[in-house]
Structure 1
Amino acid sequence: MSRARIAMLTVLAMMAFAGNSLLCRLALGHTGIDPASFTTVRLVSGALTLWLVMRTKAGAGRSRDGVDGATGPLPGAGSWLSALALFAYAVCFSFAYARLPAGSGALLLFGAVQATMIGQGIRAGERFRMPQLAGLTLACGGLVGLLLPGIYAPPLGAAVLMLCSGAAWGIYSLRGRGKGDPVRVTTGNFLRAAPIALASSVLMAGHMAVDVEGLLYALASGALTSAIGYIIWYTVLPALKATSAATVQLSVPVIAALGGAALLGEPVTLRLMLASMAILGGIALVILEKRADAPS
């Protein structure tokens, strides 16, 4: 794969991940769809898209080998525990974005994901050097500064929901390590999470509200920025160094904040800028020092 293609696919993947925040905020802030319905449509459309892509690839491979393409389920992919973590991430994400700006939400989500994964490393006995401890302190200080009461502080309840969403995604990511083909595993988890989301929508049927515009945003979030975004990312990931793959994701909250300002008219406040620099800079210190200590 050429460097130009790697760069292009990486940019597309980061834009897709940031696009999830923008589409969710657009839907829940500017249309009539409710958070539970958005979550369900996102997970179901993502599951169907991933399943179709995997079936197309499997059918093409079998055709080349002279074997008829299969149409059954994907065996041995994903797990119900991972699917529950995926659902928890998606539902908390949607309910949080009913009130959170896109940039603040993406920053809280990313910070919580990284905190969960770093916390697991500490729990497993990983030792941090002084620059990493300084990075953790800086990131925690940025998070506290973002959430301190004030005119531009995000709503506390929504912020807590987004932190829970990030923790769920961190758990999902940790559970997915070393499980084989990541696209196949992701497909299996989406296929399991979809009926969970449908069941939750049935339980909240009395609060259901859907309109055409909100439905289109949810479909785009599930099929494009989630399913296709993950496929693009997992395609380019083997070509990236571990440090590059980790640090390039620092751009997602920045893209979301800029997109929120350009598309939704959300303010990029001094508080958000300072918190972003502290949180993302602190996480970058942890990641870069960790990779520097790792054996080549």
Structure 2
Amino acid sequence: MKPRDLLLALAVVVVWGVNFVVIEVGLEGFPPLLFSALRFLFAAVPAIFLLGKPRVAWRYVIGVGLALGVAKFGLLFIAMKNGVPAGLASLVLQCQVIFTVLFAIVVLRERPRLAQIAGILIACFGMVLIMLDHGLSAPLGALALVIAAGAFWGVSNTITRYAKPQDTLRFMIWVSAVAVVPLLLLSLLTEGAQADLDALHGIRLTGVGAIAYVAFAATLFGFGVWGYLLRQYDASTVAPFSLLVPIVGMAAAWLLRGEAVGLQQGIAAVLVIGGMACTVIRRRTPRAAASGERVVVESAV
């Protein structure tokens, strides 16, 4: 990888890792579903008018918009609002790798490698350690929502594999546009119009900054650069960088929010990240190297 591209990959990792702390800050001033809707609103507008229509079938755009934008991020934001700390959320959410592999086996009829099966088992054991951690401050119900968010992320990854978008930035912008209206409606129904109006009326500079960060830095910059890297290099070269996201997320939560990491949680983090590494890192065969094979790899926060 060229030095410039290496720096870009590391920049995306830092942006996505810090994003969990920014989400936590944003949720201090917004109801979770409203905050999620605002994220996608500003990620989509005015970009959709500048880049044109997506170059994939609308059913894929709508499917990913509902699974990723509404379900995954809606559940994640609700979970973090209800007590899941930023660093822990960044780690547990990566269970999406497990669900992506499982859905690929069931839906796409892909045959798992032995390393993938071993990786899933190792990561699951790490998740169990997190659940059993007596020092864990997050309610188990909220933690279950993060796992559910990871499952919906796996659903969106499976749909994206079918879609195979050539322009990941344009695809993500239209996915963002699809998510806005359902999130706003759900916010009105569950959080209430008054709560939404109060949040918008009392918006502070930190809230504006949080919206700007999650919309422009985490979504547009992150996905734009990630898509560029996947077009330049093999997925096996790019994908491992996503394993650094929870490490940055936990470090940022410790530095910026004072979130402590206990011994058991640290061991669990090593197991989860190591297990995920087994599922996404693979040796390139001579045939794959000769053909310049590309695989769509999904990672975002």
Q: For this structure pair, what is the TM-score category when the shorter chain's length is used for normalisation?
A: 0.7 to 0.9
Show the counterpart of 2:193.
Answer: 205
**Is the alpha carbon distance of 1:49 and 1:229 closer, same or farther for their aligned partners in structure 2, counting shifts above 3 Å?**
farther
Show the counterpart of 1:132.
Answer: 116
Q: 1:284 aligns with which of 269, 277, 290?
A: 277
Please state whether the residue corresponding to 1:250 is helix, strand or coil. Answer: helix
Show the counterpart of 1:61.
Answer: none
User: 1:244-263: per-residue Cα shift (whole Å, max 9, x none)?
Assistant: 22211100000000000111
- 1:162 equivalent to 2:146? Answer yes
Show the counterpart of 1:143.
Answer: 127
Query: Unpaired runs of 5+ in structure 2?
Result: 289-301
Worse-matched range after superposition: 41-50 or 251-260? 41-50
Show the counterpart of 1:247.
Answer: 240
Is the CA contact 1:41–1:215 (under 8 Å) kept in the aligned structure 2?
no
Q: Offset at 1:7?
A: 0.6
Is the CA contact 1:36–1:91 (under 8 Å) kept in the aligned structure 2?
yes
TM-score for both structures, normalised by structure 2: 0.83
**Is the alpha carbon distance of 1:137 and 1:195 closer, same or farther for their aligned partners in structure 2, counting shifts above 3 Å?**
same
Q: 2:180 aligns with which of 194, 197, 205?
A: 194
Q: 1:74 aligns with which of 53, 56, 59?
A: 53
Name the CA distance, whole Å, in 1 between partners of 2:121 and 2:137.
Answer: 20
TM-score for both structures, normalised by structure 1: 0.84
> Which residues of 2 match residues 54-69 of structure 1 at below 5 A?
55=50
Q: Offset at 1:198?
A: 2.3
**Is the alpha carbon distance of 1:147 and 1:223 closer, same or farther for their aligned partners in structure 2, counting shifts above 3 Å?**
same
Q: Offset at 1:179?
A: 3.1
Show the counterpart of 1:104.
Answer: 88
Is the CA contact 2:168–2:223 (under 8 Å) kept in the aligned structure 1?
no
Show the counterpart of 2:7.
Answer: 8
**Is the alpha carbon distance of 1:115 and 1:153 closer, same or farther for their aligned partners in structure 2, counting shifts above 3 Å?**
farther
Show the counterpart of 1:68.
Answer: none
Worse-matched range after superposition: 121-130 or 143-152? 121-130
Worse-matched range after superposition: 85-94 or 233-242? 233-242
- 1:119 equivalent to 2:109? Answer no
- 1:234 equivalent to 2:227? Answer yes
Show the counterpart of 1:63.
Answer: none
Q: Offset at 1:25?
A: 1.3
| Structure 1 runs of 4+ with >4 Å offset | 75-78, 291-295
> Which residues of 2 match residues 23-62 of structure 1 at below 5 A?
23-28=22-27, 31-48=28-45, 50-51=47-48, 55=50
**Superposition RMSD in Å:** 2.2
**Which amino acid in structure 2 is aligned with residue 118 of structure 1?**
V
**Which amino acid in structure 1 is aligned with residue 233 of structure 2?**
L
Q: Offset at 1:269?
A: 1.7
**Which amino acid in structure 1 is aligned with residue 134 of structure 2?**
G
**Which amino acid in structure 1 is aligned with residue 274 of structure 2?**
G
**Is the alpha carbon distance of 1:238 and 1:185 closer, same or farther for their aligned partners in structure 2, counting shifts above 3 Å?**
same
Name the CA distance, whole Å, in 2 between partners of 1:259 and 1:196.
Answer: 31
Please state whether the residue corresponding to 2:138 is helix, strand or coil. Answer: coil
Please state whether the residue corresponding to 1:51 is helix, strand or coil. Answer: helix
**Which amino acid in structure 2 is aligned with residue 207 of structure 1?**
A
Which structure would you say has the larger Rg?
1
Name the CA distance, whole Å, in 2 between partners of 1:96 and 1:161.
Answer: 6
Identity %: 25
Aligned length: 273
Name the CA distance, whole Å, in 1 between partners of 2:151 and 2:2.
Answer: 33
Q: Offset at 1:153?
A: 5.3
